[in-house]
Amino acid sequence: MNAPVSNKLDLGPLREMDGYLASAIVDSSSGMTLAVDGGGESFNIEMAAAGNTDVVRKKRDVMKKLKLNDKIEDMLISLQKQYHLIRPLESNDALFIYVALDRSKANLGMARNELNSFEKGLDIA
């Protein structure tokens, strides 16, 4: 079920999240994935990651127009059966981590904490 992690970026620790389905590290300027894990026939993580690039771009555009002078910490998309978490990297806001979770198994508060911890240990060198 799990696709192998691409490149040297290890998304494996995210599999420990309750309800984990898939994850990716995504370039928000191109929509290309730098690393993917999970997904499969029932959930195309690369397509979802590319589509959520538009969400990140649009939110940033609106923030700029509103002159909010702030940064996105994370974004949550709540579906009836899934949670989709998007977290731009503090070290490189052109990149974001995208995680899909099974809503019936996930603990949203814990997932956000785990994603924050994962990001702090991530090496994008």
The pLDDT confidence band at residue 123, using thresholds 50, 70 and 90, is confident
Contact 55, 75 (CB under 8 A): yes
Rank 3-7, 18-22, 41-45 by mean pLDDT and report only the highest: 18-22
Structural domains of the chain in order of their starting residue, each with its CATH number: 12-120 (3.30.450.30)
Question: What is the β-pairing status of strands 20-27 and 82-88?
Answer: unpaired
Integer-rounded Cα Rg, in Å, for the chain is 14
Residue 5 corresponds to which amino acid? V
Residue 103 sits at φ, ψ, to 5 deg, of -60, -35
Note the pLDDT of residue 7. 45
Dist CA 90 CA 16 (whole Å): 22
Dist CA 9 CA 51 (whole Å): 21
| pLDDT at residue 74 is higher than 50 | yes
Lowest mean pLDDT of 12-16, 75-79, 120-124, name the range. Answer: 120-124
Note the pLDDT of residue 124. 79
Residue showing tokens 């929509």: 31
